[in-house]
Every structure is written in structure tokens, then in C-alpha cells.
Chain A
Amino acid sequence: MTPELVVFFLLAIVAVGAALGMLVSRNAVHSALFLVLTMAVLSVFFLVLAAPFIAMVQVVVYAGAIMVLFLFVIMLLGAEGLRRQRTVLPWQPWLAGVLGVLFVAALGYIVFFQGGQFMSQGIIPPGAGAIAADFGGPQALGLQLFQNYLLPFELTSFLLLVGMVGAVVLTREPSGRQVGSTAPKGTLPERRVERVP
């Protein structure tokens, strides 16, 4: 049991525990914070796997921007304390749980019994245990992005532009209402006391 394996299993337990906490938490803010913990643990895994740039991008973009956006919307909609109103299809969560466990079992079988050479010690290139010191650094990754993957790079920038325009259009006030008007406010009503599982 090398130290690397011990660290891996400790971090894996934290990651899976945080994911479970995200699933079972009644409070949406708690779920978001558990997901932030999962992303932080995954960032540590990326550091171990010689991907320092991706690890920092994970912390800054995923945990620092996307999850903050989630928290903004949770606070905006007042979703942290919603209670269940009525249950449609009461048997559906149970069936989904059973099928989810079956899915986990199928994935576990494929990974642990059909893993083959990936589960044994070592990596694919024989005798290549060490790795270049700047593997996964921003310089090397940037060279790849701007030389071999330039077209997808430009397409994703276009996708971000379209997403930004779409988000602004979707959250615009209904036409005919001016900002700061004295008309009765109907866009975001006061919070209702109902919990949604």
C-alpha cells in the first residue's frame, strides 16, 4: 500500500461522500457547496495526474464561476427551502434508485473485471514511468490549443457568445414593462414555503 494509493483512496472517499451529500441534501445551498467540495477534490486529482493547468482552470472556472452562478440562481429563486407540494408518480424515485444501483453494478463490473491492463500497475508505454516536467503546463497546452485544435477553439468562443446572448434574451423583462416602473411586480414573487426533493 504505497502512499500514493492511500492518498488516492482518501481523496476518492471524500469525493464520493461529497457527491452523496449533494444528492441527499434537502437544502439546495448545501448541495451546491457539496458539489464545490467534489470539484475541489477533482482538482487535486488533476494535479496528481500531471495536469496543473486543468486543475487551476477547474478551480477558477468550475468551482469559482459556474457554482457561484448556481448559488446566485438558488438565492434568486429562493430555492433553498422549498418543500414538496404533491408527489406525481410516487413509485418513480424508487424505480430510479433500483435502476441506478444496477447501473453502478454494470459499470463496476466493466471497470474491475474487464479493465485488463489498465487495472494493473503501470501505464501503457512500457518503461515510461517518468513524465516530462512541463507536461500539462499552460505553455504546452496552449500550443496544442492554438495549433492542432484551433477550429474547435474558435467554435467554442462562438458558442460562448451565443450562450451569452441567449441568457440575456431569456431573462429579459416582459415587453411593455420599464425598469423601475410603478406597475405591480409580478416577475419574481415572494417565496412560497414548499420543499422540493
Chain B
Amino acid sequence: MVPTGYYVGLSAVLFALGVIGVLVRRNAIIVFMSIELMLNSANLAFVAFARSFQQYTGQVFVFFIMTVAAAEVAVGLALMVAIFRTKHSINIDEMNQLNG
């Protein structure tokens, strides 16, 4: 069978790609999607270790991560819509005021 470290390595690569996406891209929605990619890579690592140790803790944690990610996406996208109403743009370079 495939060693657990291979799954952890793939999770690390996907996480690093998510980090690069958050830092480089200027579209706020792409930044959100990169954050979701990071959460998914963490899910993969959790499930791999749950399989390796034959414990359910990893899978339960994945369940909670998905729930928290869903709530975060809902609120975050609602924020995007509200910001778009006043700024008419979702370029994060233009979100440089506290009173926007």
C-alpha cells in the first residue's frame, strides 16, 4: 500500500500552492478559493493519518473542518457582496481603508 508519507507530501504540496495563491492573486474570490484549497489539503493529511493509525479521530476532525469551512465561506462571500456594493470592485489592492 501507499506509505502515509506520500499522502502527507501531496498535502504539503497542495497547501503550499494555496499559500502562493493567497499571496499572489489580487482577486478576492480567488484568494478565498486558495484558502479552501489549504483546508482541503489539511483534510487529506487528517484522513491519511486516520487510516494509518486506524483511529476515527482524523475523520471526525475532517467532518468539523468541512463544517467550519462551509460557515466561513458563507460569511466571507456575504462580506464580498457587501464590499462590492460600496467599492464596486473586488481587487484586494483597493481595500485599503477601514471606513470603506
Chain A contact residues, CB within 8 Å of chain B: 4-5, 8, 12, 15-16, 19-20, 22-23, 28, 31-32, 35, 38-39, 42, 45-46, 48-51, 53-54, 57-58, 61-62, 65-66, 69-70, 73-74, 76-77, 79, 82, 84-89, 92-93, 96-97, 99-100, 103-104, 107-108, 110-112, 115, 118-125, 128-129, 131-132, 135-136, 140-141, 144-145, 148-149, 152, 156, 159-160, 162-164, 166-168, 170-171, 187-189, 192, 194, 196-197
Contact of B13 among A28, A73, A104, A129 (CB under 8 A): A104
- Checking B37, B48, B71, B79 against A22 with a beta-carbon cut-off of 8 angstroms, the contacting residue is B37
> Chain B 61-83, CB within 8 Å of chain A: the 1/0 string?
01110111111111101111110
The 10 closest A-B pairs by CB, nearest first: A96-B23, A163-B71, A119-B5, A100-B20, A118-B5, A170-B78, A107-B12, A167-B78, A115-B5, A196-B27
B68 & A118 in contact (Cβ 8 Å cutoff): no
Taking Cβ atoms with an 8 Å cutoff, the residues of B that contact A are 1-10, 12-21, 23-27, 29-30, 32-34, 36-37, 40, 43-44, 47-48, 50-54, 56, 59-60, 62-64, 66-75, 77-82, 84-85, 88-91, 93-94
Contacting pair B10 A170 (CB below 8 A): no
Classify the interface of chain A: helix, strand, loop or mixed.
helix
| C-alpha spacing A170/B76, complex, angstroms | 10
Given contacts A16-B14, A170-B81, contact A8 B6 (CB under 8 A): yes
Q: Is the CB of A38 within 8 A of B14?
A: yes
The one of B24, B27, B60, B89 in contact with A100, judged by C-beta atoms closer than 8 angstroms, is B24
Question: A99-B23, A125-B53, A140-B56 given as contacts; is B29 within 8 A of A61 (CB)?
Answer: no
Cβ of A73 to closest chain B Cβ, rounded Å? 5
- Given the interface pairs A23-B24, A100-B23, the reply to whether A42 lies near B78 with Cβ below 8 Å is no
Q: Is the CB of A35 within 8 A of B74?
A: no
Chain B residues touching A, majority SS? helix
CB pair B77–A20 under 8 Å, yes or no, is no
Whether A144 pairs with B60 at a CB distance below 8 angstroms is: yes
| Chain B residues within an 8 Å CB radius of A144 | 56, 59-60
* A contact residues around B8 at 8 Å (CB): 111, 115, 118
CB B45 to nearest CB in A, in angstroms, measures 10
- Jot down 15 A-B pairs with beta carbons below 8 A, ordered by A: A23-B25, A35-B36, A49-B48, A49-B51, A51-B47, A69-B74, A79-B27, A119-B6, A123-B1, A156-B71, A159-B67, A163-B71, A194-B89, A197-B25, A197-B26
